[in-house]
Chains A and B, each alone.
Chain A
Amino acid sequence: MNKPRFLKKGDVILVVAVAVALLLFWGVSRFLYPPAENGVAEITVNGKPHGTYRLDKEVSFTVQDENGGYNRVEIKNGEVRIADADCPDRLCVRQGAISHKGETIVCLPHGLIITVCDGANGDVDFITG
């Protein structure tokens, strides 16, 4: 066997298993998140509903949390994203735009969660909680 001595068969199996698990995870999440019908973005802050916004109307607004932090939410081209935020890691911005049912954007520092859901019907602009 012409392998480096620090890699054994088990290591290779382990790495392959981890890769397969991640691919499965990704595949299942694709499968679980079909495109939403009349999609809306539901926003909660620290578990409390903040509002529901239709994805087919372009809008941009700022959500403040209790400690003065903000997330600027932008809805455009049927997708919702966080365009800007002052949380330390800005992971919420990096999570990009979402439009599929069940997809979420989370900003842990501000307790903000955006979830894409099916809209009940087409004649509501937004519902604030």
Chain B
Amino acid sequence: MAKRLARFGLLVALCFVFSYLEFLLPLPFGVPGMKLGLSNLVVLVALYSGGPLTAGAVSLVRILLNGFTFGTPLGMLYSIAGGVLSFLGMWLLYKIRHFSPVGVSILGGILHNIGQLSVAFALLGVAGLIYYAPILLISGAVAGFLVGLVASAVLPRLKGVWGRMG
């Protein structure tokens, strides 16, 4: 239990740092909402090494921490929509088992942006928002792919580290 808790703390801290990093250094493409989603890397690692419960908790705690520290209530609404949708999708693919972390992460990236677009659509009601949709869907898929690659590289190595830690 203590080991689990320590891991959980590590994951949340890492997630938090990654979020802060992305907040400090936004991608220079000028599209609102376009991000690499480094914190999703941590959620992904948590999903594969700690299970859905850990991953969901890491994701939620990160969103709350991040929202209260750097964000606005509105920003938090976007994060929650993106985070929850993305987590549910990744969990589903993870359960199906025919997907590697790369596939899981791609869907996560896409769903994250779909969640945020839905909030934008609900709040602003601009039909023209559809213009952003293809860009954000593609960028979500690409970001998810990259994050997934890193996760597949990290996961086998992490197994050893965490084994020794316990």
Contacts and interface: CB of A to CB of B under 8 A. Distances in A.
Interface of A: 6-11, 14-15, 18, 22, 25-26, 88-91, 95, 104-106, 108, 113, 115
Interface of B: 30-32, 93, 96, 98-103, 106-107, 110, 124, 126-129, 131-132, 134, 137-138, 141, 148-149, 152-153
18 contacts: A6-B100, A7-B103, A8-B100, A10-B98, A10-B99, A14-B93, A14-B107, A15-B103, A22-B137, A22-B138, A88-B30, A89-B30, A89-B31, A89-B32, A91-B31, A104-B128, A105-B131, A113-B128
Closest 10 CB pairs of A and B: A11-B103, A106-B128, A10-B98, A6-B152, A10-B99, A89-B30, A8-B100, A104-B128, A14-B103, A113-B128
Nearest to A114: B128
B154 to A, nearest CB: 11
Most chain A CB within 10 A, of B103, B124, B152, is at B103
B29 to A, nearest CB: 9
